[in-house]
């Protein structure tokens, strides 16, 4: 990374002109605490087809829990893990920094529609956003 700072600065400047953000992420950051394997799992969940009814039910249940719920609480209400993680993968739900994917993880409704994939990657990696 250090030896390529000039290249990164040029890339950042070119992308900024086009309205894009630039982020350097190293293998150490990606592999930290199993983040890469959770990201791959989330990618798989994101490819699943979840019905609009299931998605709506999930959002309604989270609202009933006050806008933030543990995955285990949602599972007890009859939702599937596939539905919950699909909505996280599609940015309709948010998880805390580090992309925890356990039954004790909390999820909340994403009300920040202006965020994009860059913002989510920053959140999952614990990196500062723009």
Alpha carbon 94 to chain centroid, angstroms: 6
Q: Are the C-beta atoms of 105 and 96 separated by less than 8 Å?
A: yes
Q: How much is the pTM?
A: 0.74
Residue 26 scores a pLDDT above 90:
no
pLDDT for 5-14, tens place per residue?
999 999 999 9
Mean pLDDT of the chain: 87
Q: Provide long-range contacts, Cβ within 8 A and 24+ apart, for 29-33.
A: 29/125, 29/127, 30/125, 33/98
Q: What is the pLDDT of residue 110?
A: 86
pLDDT digits (tens, 9 = 90+) for 30-87: 777 677 888 888 889 999 999 999 999 999 999 999 999 999 999 999 999 999 999 9
């Amino acid at each position: 990374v250090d030896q390529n700072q000039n290249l990164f600065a040029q890339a950042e400047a070119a992308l900024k002109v086009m309205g894009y953000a630039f982020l350097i992420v190293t293998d150490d950051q990606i592999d930290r605490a199993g983040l890469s394997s959770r990201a791959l799992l989330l990618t798989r969940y994101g490819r699943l087809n979840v019905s609009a009814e299931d998605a709506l039910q999930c959002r309604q249940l989270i609202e009933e829990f006050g806008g933030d719920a543990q995955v285990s609480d949602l599972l007890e209400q009859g939702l599937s893990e596939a539905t919950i993680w699909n909505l996280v993968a599609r940015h309709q739900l948010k998880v805390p920094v580090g992309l925890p994917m356990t039954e004790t993880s909390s999820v909340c409704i994403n009300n920040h529609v202006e965020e994009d994939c860059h913002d989510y990657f920053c959140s999952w990696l614990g990196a500062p956003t723009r």
